């Protein structure tokens, strides 16, 4: 006797699709909040680079991120930026038929995402604006 009936599998698939849509909607809303929030002018060029990542060299991306005053940017906004840069890099790698994530071996130089994460997190973060929490 099969472990899951066809109806149970269909229900699980529908639930997974609903959760994926909700997850994507949540991240879309977070991105829109960042791009319309107090750091919009600072981060607009960075998000434009994410959308055209195939035309951006890693050094350019790291250079722009290094030029941003991360000490003035709240924690939740930093999380959104890290999520967006990770998504852009993964999407680009997959379009090139590469593994989505390819961290270097211990002792090897860090990859672009690791450098970016270090730059973004090197300063103490300000408190998130009201209505936005890092717990979501």
Per-residue model confidence as pLDDT tens digits over 61-107: 999 999 999 999 999 999 999 999 999 999 999 999 999 998 899 99
**What does pTM read for this prediction?**
0.80
What 3-state class would DSSP assign to 74? strand
Contact 65/114 with Cβ under 8 angstroms?
no
Q: Where are the domains of the chain?
A: 6-121
Contact 33/130 with Cβ under 8 angstroms?
no
- Segment 111-127 mean pLDDT: 88
Q: What percent of the chain has pLDDT over 70?
A: 89
* Gyration radius from the chain CA atoms: 18
């Amino acid at each position: 006797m099969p472990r899951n009936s066809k109806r149970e599998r269909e229900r699980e698939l529908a639930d997974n699709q609903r959760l994926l849509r909700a997850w994507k909607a949540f991240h879309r809303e977070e991105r829109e909040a960042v791009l319309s929030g107090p750091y919009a002018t600072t981060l607009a060029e960075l998000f434009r680079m994410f959308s055209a990542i195939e035309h951006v060299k890693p050094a350019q991306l790291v250079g722009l991120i290094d030029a941003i005053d991360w000490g003035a940017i709240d924690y939740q906004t930093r999380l959104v930026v890290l999520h967006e840069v990770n998504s852009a890099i993964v999407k680009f790698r997959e379009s090139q038929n590469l593994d989505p994530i390819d961290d270097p071996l211990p002792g090897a130089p860090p990859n672009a995402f690791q450098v970016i994460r270090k730059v973004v997190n090197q300063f103490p973060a300000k408190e998130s604006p009201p209505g936005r929490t890092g717990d979501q």
